Each structure stands twice: as C-alpha cells, then as structure tokens.
Amino acid sequence: MRQVAILAGLCVALLALRPSCEAQPAAKDPILVGVMLPLSGSIADFGKSAHQGVLLAAEQINAAGGIKGAQIKLKVIDTRSDPAKVEAAAKKLINEDKVCAAIGDVASGHTLVAARLFKDAKLPLITPCSTNDTLTEGNPWLFRACFADKQQGEACAVFARQRLQKSKIAVLTERDSAYSKALAESFKKRAKELSGEIVAENNYGSGTNDWAPVVEALGDLSKLDLVFAPVYYSDAAMITQELRQQGYTGTILGGDGWDSDQIVKLGGKALDGAYWVGHFNAASDDAKEFVAAFRKKHDAQPDSLAALGYDALMMLKKAFMDAKTTTGKEVADALASLKEFKGATGLMSMDEKRVTKKSVFFFRAKGEAITFDRELKAEDVAKAK
C-alpha cells in the first residue's frame, strides 16, 4: 500500500515538472512559451497583429541561437475574444502544455482572468497591451510590454492642457469597462491639478447603439473645448460622429482604445482632427529594424499590437538570458529588473512596482490618414506643471 502511495506521489511530482523550466535547460529541450490571444471574435484584429509580432520575435530568437542553445517553442491558443476561453486557455497552458511563461491577453478584463491563474502557478505572464493598473497590483507574476493607465491618463491630461491648451473638458466613459473608468479617473485628477475644468461627464452602458442621448447628456456643447472619450474604437467612432452631428466644433481626444486602423474607417470624415493615444510610432528610429523585418516576413505594415507582441516576447527572451535558470521565479525577477530595454515601441524600464515606464505617443486623424503628433516621455508627464 505504502509503495503504491509513494509511486503515486512520484507520478504527481513528475507530472508537475516542466522539463525546460526547472533548471538550466538542456539545449535539446525547447523552452515552451504560451501565447493566448484573440485570433477570432470581436477583437480578433488586435490578437492577429500581436500574434504576427510574436511569430517574428520567435523566428529571430531561434535563428540567433535561441536561449543559450535551447530553441523557443510557442504553444498558441485562440482565446476568441471571450474571457471564459481565456480561463480554459490559461489552464491548458499551465497544466497540460507546461509552459515556462506566456504572452497574453489583449483586453485588460481578459488578461485579469489569466493573471490570477498564472499567479497561482507562479509562472510569468506578459501582456502586450493590457493597461489597467490593477493587473500588476499584488501580482508579481504579471508584466506589461505597454504603459499602464495611470501614466496614460496623466499623459492625456498633460497633452490636453499643454499641447492642445484646452480647459473646458467633458469626459465620456463606458460604465462597465474597468479600462474606461480607470483611465478617466487618472485623466481627471491630473487635468484638475493642471487647472483644467471638468465641465461635464456622462457614462453609457456596454452595447449602447443610440448615441444621441449619450451626447445630449453633456449639456451645452458650445461651452466645451475638449471631449475626452477613453473608450474602445468602435464606440469612439460613433461618439465622434454624434458629437459632430450635434454641432460640437471643439477638439476630441481618445486613449489607446482608439489605436486601430479601423478608427478612421469607421469614423470617416467626423474623425478628422481628432487626437488619440498610440503605443507605437512606426516612423521612429526605435521601430526601423522591426518594421523592415516585419514587412519581409508578413508582407504588411505592422501596427501597434504587432510591435507590442514582438516586444513582449523580446522582453521574455532578455529575461531568459539574464536569469540563471528558466524557473518562473528567476525569470520573473529578471523581468522585474528590466531597465532601458530597447523595444520596437521605444525604451522601457520597470519601476519598483513592476510597472512598465515608457513613452506615450499621440496621433491625429488628417482626412483618411493617421499622423504622428508627439511623444510624451514618462518623466515629462511626471514633471509637467
């Protein structure tokens, strides 16, 4: 009986082993990295781009000799823009595929689901683009290739006051979106510190398709010179059209939820002159090599999500190289101490709370085109008075 128990115990222990993640991997064992992204469903555009970026990074890492001789092998799961699928994907990657670390997901609400499971399994998870601040709070296993909403909201306030010189501000948010609410809060706080006035506010429920009352609730539009709408791009396009239809002539500003080529297609003429936050400036020096390699591999121009997916895997590679072993703890420690890491999206450094600090980019719609307007460095946002 006792022997059976010992044998069973041994089997469990063996099952729990992650052959390539326990100690220095033998060069013959690939290092397994999970990839959880929405490759189908409502936000598939974002997931597909990020996936293309991850594939390019894996190809480059392996062509250059891998991680100390071991190749990286990706285990990709489509999370279908559905948080329930994210949970199943995370469980599979952790328990069946036995990955050493993973990249994912896109929307903050989805990443939150995976982050809890990776925390319990003590394995690092890097999100390319989930900006919600709560993700890293109390979770030393979660990392971002992007800035967080506190920094983004503050950057928007500095941009609104100093670059656009606007002071009579309305804020429109999506009520049930943690992303929208948190970004609005950080913006409002910093805008008030910079003597901006929040004149009107309104929030709407998810699935809204009658935008007239949403805009009417802001009151007299002629009293405003800026509307800040930290929402996702399809709502943003509708809100912009409605604002213009109701005669609003002031400026419109959005957050990174607008950072999609779709925004100008959906918004059309109404979008002309609007500003928003982006993660990636394809014309910058930091982006050059990545853009050329991406075009060669995928025969397409990379967008923000492609660059962030690429950067996420490159951060992980750096951590694998810096860590003595490929165990979760050592890799997480290496990620937490990344400083001045040169990504396609710019220089990034982890602060003492494992929050990624980097530049926030602002873009503007000019007709059908999207033009780069300016870069706000983390220290400029902190210093602005």
Residues that bind ligand PHE (CB under 6 A): 46, 106-108, 129-132, 179, 256-257, 259, 304
Closer by beta carbon to ligand PHE, 241 or else 260 = 260
- As measured in angstroms, the least distance from the Cβ of 101 to ligand PHE is 20
- As measured in angstroms, the least distance from the Cβ of 3 to ligand PHE is 52
Closer by beta carbon to ligand PHE, 71 or else 152 = 152
Closer by beta carbon to ligand PHE, 186 or else 304 = 304
Is the separation of the CB atoms in 347 and 358 below 8 Å? yes
CA distances from 308 to 46, 50, 303, 354 (A): 10, 7, 9, 17
- As measured in angstroms, the least distance from the Cβ of 190 to ligand PHE is 18
- As measured in angstroms, the least distance from the Cβ of 214 to ligand PHE is 20
- As measured in angstroms, the least distance from the Cβ of 327 to ligand PHE is 29
How many whole angstroms separate alpha carbon 111 and alpha carbon 130?
7
Closer by beta carbon to ligand PHE, 66 or else 230 = 230
Q: Any bridge partners for residue 202, and if so which?
A: 172
- As measured in angstroms, the least distance from the Cβ of 317 to ligand PHE is 22
SS3 177: coil
Is the separation of the CB atoms in 143 and 125 below 8 Å? yes
CA distances from 37 to 56, 120, 128, 233, 378 (A): 15, 20, 10, 18, 28
66: left (phi over 0), alpha (psi -120 to 50) or beta: left
CA distances from 115 to 124, 193, 325, 375 (A): 9, 33, 22, 30
CA distances from 347 to 37, 127, 339, 350 (A): 24, 17, 9, 11
Closer by beta carbon to ligand PHE, 256 or else 330 = 256
Closer by beta carbon to ligand PHE, 225 or else 303 = 303
Is the separation of the CB atoms in 289 and 301 below 8 Å? no
Closer by beta carbon to ligand PHE, 67 or else 142 = 142
Is the separation of the CB atoms in 38 and 105 below 8 Å? yes
Token pair 């991406």 is at which residue?
294
Which amino acid makes up residue 274? A
Closer by beta carbon to ligand PHE, 171 or else 263 = 263
How many whole angstroms separate alpha carbon 97 and alpha carbon 355?
28
- As measured in angstroms, the least distance from the Cβ of 256 to ligand PHE is 5
- As measured in angstroms, the least distance from the Cβ of 49 to ligand PHE is 9
- As measured in angstroms, the least distance from the Cβ of 46 to ligand PHE is 6
Beta strands 72-78 and 125-127, pairing class: unpaired
131 Cβ contact partners less than 8 Å away, ≥ 6 residues apart: 108, 144, 146, 147, 148, 149, 152, 179, 183, 256
Closer by beta carbon to ligand PHE, 37 or else 323 = 37
